[in-house]
Structure 1
Amino acid sequence: QFDKILADRAVAGGARLYEQTNVTAPIVDARTERIVGVTTKDGRSFRAPVVIAADGNSSRLALGMGLERRTDRPMGVAVRAYFTSPRTDDDYMESWLELWDGRPGESNLLPGYGWVFGMGDGTVNVGLGTVGSSSEPAGLNYREMFGAWLANTPEEWGFRPENQVGRTLGAALPMSFNRQPAYTRGLLLVGDAGGMVSPFNGEGISYAMEAAEMAADAIADAHFRGWGTPSAERALRGYPARLKSEWGGYFRLGQVFVSLIEHPQVMHLCTRYGLPRPTLMRFTMKLLAHLYDTRDGDWMDKVITALAKVAPSA
């Protein structure tokens, strides 16, 4: 539904929407090595002065322009399913900071968290996500892990196979600008294509939307200055600079966070001594959820803001 809202709004604003159209490769000018358009699976071509790659983690356009993923950045994996449940009308979204790779309390804590989101329509969105400090596969069976976690939730919640609605789905979560630069030779990366997922919590939609607005600002500025001019190119190069200014330090802190919590001993200490302390948990939630006030906040907001500013950009 959200995708449809965005598409309808774009069309209402004058965009031309092509449905069932699969872009397969960039069109590159042999002389300038700039992208000048795209080709589709059915053989059509479309040309434009700039191209936005918002084609997800695998990003054929980015790969076609020689932009590989960085292996030194965190990569997460999330799985989720819907269940009919009496928790559908819960007042709050719930986060689980203890994920075990076996029996709770008798196995290792995993780097990640689970969630329970009541949808208000009789169903609940339940999922879990884990993360590692590099893009190397962790060798975990995420669906088995998901099933084991659900099996240990209270029976009355209804998180059992007979109550599941639809399939269990999974996705990779590319984090911390794992493909760079976000602008080069006429191509702008937005969302998962540019690794714009938070290493703190696996959130990507809000960052994709904000990045899309920044990219649109840069493109509008370049258009105003005149395509093909040095001034227009400077406007487009301002896009990755703005991304790093907004999120670079925060994402770098997230990389440090991931490198710590992927050790079960550290996770055990954090959950054992951190969870019972309300003040520490408020600080942690502000940090993990990226919900701190950078201007007029309390001491917690000021500490997090200062840390994000002094951290080298991701």
Structure 2
Amino acid sequence: MRALAEGALPTMDLMDNTFDIIIVGGGPAGATAAYQLGLAGVRVLLLDKAAAFPREKPCGGGLTARLLDRFPYVREFLDAGEVSVNPLSRIHLESPDGTRATYQADSTCLHLIRRWEFDAALFRRAESVCTVRTGVMIRRCIVKPDHVELESSTGELFTAPMIIGADSANSVIARHTGLRDEAAHKLYAIDMMEETTYDRLDVKDRESIYIFLTLKEAFGYGYIFPKTEHLNLGYACKLDWYLTKLRGKGAEFHGEWVDQLKAKGDVTGETNPEGYKAFPIPISGPLEKTYTDRVLLAGDAGGFVNAFTAEGIYYAMTSGSLAADAALTAIRSKRYDARSLSGYQVAWQREIGSDLQHSVDIQSRLFNGSDRIDALVRKSKEDPELLRLILGYSMGMSTYEALRNHMVRSTMPKWVWGKMKAAVGLSR
């Protein structure tokens, strides 16, 4: 392991050529990129603002089968028990009018993990092949003709020929390089959630995932994710709606949401106010550009989140891996200009671009009216194949095209079909 000793804060001045690349952010995107580049022999410096790993990370914490297929080493450390995992194959889906459809899959739909454990496992792998620094908050990023300069909150300077920004939805790198607009309220959702132990808050069915498509005024959904020893539940809504309706009231709203779940009989016990967290999620798809001279963006920093399901880990790791591929090519050729790095955008568009764009379309159409959601869930309750495809698409197990084609072939009443067609953009 190549890590700087605790308390050692060397100034990496403008002439420092120690590192080929700096990666800002040690979450799934950054750790994946660092691990991949480190294994390839690249000199990597990985920076993260957390004081140490494991660190707290609020998140639903669901791993899809496609993530495990793409990153076999994740499956290996799950199987080895390095991270506790609850593999679930049953999903309860509820619409605004209270209609509930239950789907039992033949195989695992989602592997539920705690993010603090999972992220730490990824970080350990990165740490084994590169230099890491924790407790570093980057406050400024300047792209210069021959290097990128980063300044921390304590005034320390870091420089390298190029960087990967994987520093969350509030990315300093994205904003300071002009890749993300400062005014982006309509591009985010807020997830209000808690993760607490079962002795405090329990769920009726620990063998199921619960998804509630219940918010009638704006984009939103609720969820219950049972972990091995903890219950994770939360509610997400658009940031502009949150700022208008819930500013300063998030914890109170969350408590009311838990009370509603208790009244339905889905959960028992009491919410833990200390476990409540709220955090932003980008829900408008990847940024128009995820690269510029000497800079690539990955994970939430680049907007790589499914706008329909809010799934982010798979897209974070995939974008991190593809960013590492592009960075390796740049480092070997010593060509760091935007044109040379543009292949990164081509690569992610090829692998996950269509999926992410469809998710934006579905989110914008489906969450425009609760009647659309009601019609969809009612029909899926009558049509097991439709339910399988809807939830399969949500969990990355079936494609948008398969869902669309089934809707085309189905014998929905005309008025329902019209709503479904509008919801998923089939009129295009």
Q: TM-score range by the shorter chain?
A: 0.7 to 0.9
Alignment pair present for 1:266 and 2:365: no
Q: SS in structure 1 opposite 2:148? A: strand
* 1:242 matched residue in structure 2: 347
Match of 1:210 in 2: 318
Q: Is the 8 A contact 1:94 1:117 kept in 2?
A: yes
AA in 2 matched with 1:262: N
Question: Could you tell me which residue of structure 1 aligns to residue 276 of structure 2?
Answer: 168
Residue 153 (structure 2) aligns with: 41
Instruction: In structure 1, list runs of 5 or more residues that go unmatched.
Output: 101-107, 305-310
The code of the aligned residue for 1:300 comes to A
Deviation, 1:109, is 6.8
Range that drifts further, 196-205 or 170-179: 170-179
**Aligned equivalents of 1:267, 1:140: Cα separation in 2:** 22
Secondary structure of the equivalent of 1:140? helix
Equivalent residues of 1:191, 1:197 under 8 A apart: yes
Match among 156, 160, 169 for residue 57 of structure 1:
169
Is contact 1:26–1:35 with CA below 8 Å preserved after alignment?
no
Q: Quick check: 1:53–1:193 contact (8 Å CA) kept in 2?
A: yes
CA distance in 1, matches of 2:336, 2:231: 52
Q: Alignment partner for residue 133 of structure 2, among 13, 18, 28?
A: 18
Question: Does residue 1:3 correspond to 2:119, yes or no?
Answer: yes
Higher RCO (Cα < 8 Å, 6 or more apart): 2
Structure 2 counterpart of 1:93:
209
Comparing 271-280 with 67-76, greater Cα deviation is found at 67-76
Q: 1:111-148: per-residue Cα shift (whole Å, max 9, x none)?
A: 33222122222x311112234xxx74452325444322
Q: Residues 277 and 222 of structure 1: is their aligned pair in 2 closer, same or farther, counting only changes over 3 Å?
A: same
Contact 1:114 1:127 in 2 (8 A): yes
Which residue of structure 1 lines up, in the alignment, with residue 356 of structure 2?
A: 251
Q: Distance in 2 between matches of 1:245 and 1:204?
A: 18
Shift of 1:50: 1.0
Q: CA deviation at 1:267?
A: 2.8
1:79 and 2:184 correspond: no
Q: Is the 8 A contact 2:142 2:177 kept in 1?
A: no
1:159 Cα deviation after fit: 4.6
Report what 1:68 is aligned to: 180
Structure 2 segments unaligned to the other structure (5+ residues) = 1-116, 407-424
Change (3 A) 1:273 1:205: same
**Distance between the aligned counterparts of 1:89 and 1:17, measured in 2?**
41
Alpha-carbon distance change, 74 to 58 in structure 1, aligned in 2, over 3 angstroms: closer
Q: 1:293 to 1:201 in 2, by over 3 A?
A: closer
In the alignment, what sits opposite 2:233?
Answer: 126
Whichever residue aligns with residue 55 of structure 1, its letter is: D
Q: Secondary structure at the match of 1:250?
A: helix
The Cα offsets for residues 203-256 of structure 1, whole Å up to 9 and x where unpaired, read as 1122111111111111112222x21377xx655211111112222222222222
Give, in whole Å, the separation in 2 of the partners of 1:59 and 1:96. 30
2:245 corresponds to which of 140, 163, 188: 140
Aligned match of 1:192: 300
CA RMSD after TM alignment: 3.0
Residue 153 of structure 1 aligns to a residue whose secondary structure is helix
Contact 1:35 1:51 in 2 (8 A): no
- The two structures have a TM-score, normalised by structure 1, of 0.77
How far 1:88 moved relative to its partner?
8.8
Counterparts of 2:259 and 2:189, CA distance in 1: 23
Structure 1 pair 147/20, CA: closer, same or farther in 2 (3 Å)?
same
Q: Work out the CA distance in 2 between the residues paired with 1:24 and 1:186.
A: 18
Amino acid of the structure 2 residue aligned with 1:77: I
Deviation per residue, 1:254-274 (Å, 9 max, x gap): 222122223233233333444
Which moved further from structure 2: 208-217 or 68-77?
68-77
- Pick the aligned partner of 1:279 from 378, 385, 389: 385
Tell me which amino acid in the other structure corresponds to 1:80: M
Deviation at 1:51, TM superposition (A): 0.6
Contact residue 179 and residue 195 of structure 1 kept, 8 A: yes
Percent of pairs with identical residues: 23
| Equivalent AA in structure 1 for residue 389 of structure 2 | F
Does structure 2 conserve the Cα–Cα contact (< 8 Å) formed by 1:176 and 1:196? Answer: no
Number of equivalenced pairs:
280
1:264-307 CA-partner distances (Å, limit 9, x unpaired): 3323333344444322211111222232269xxxx837949xxx
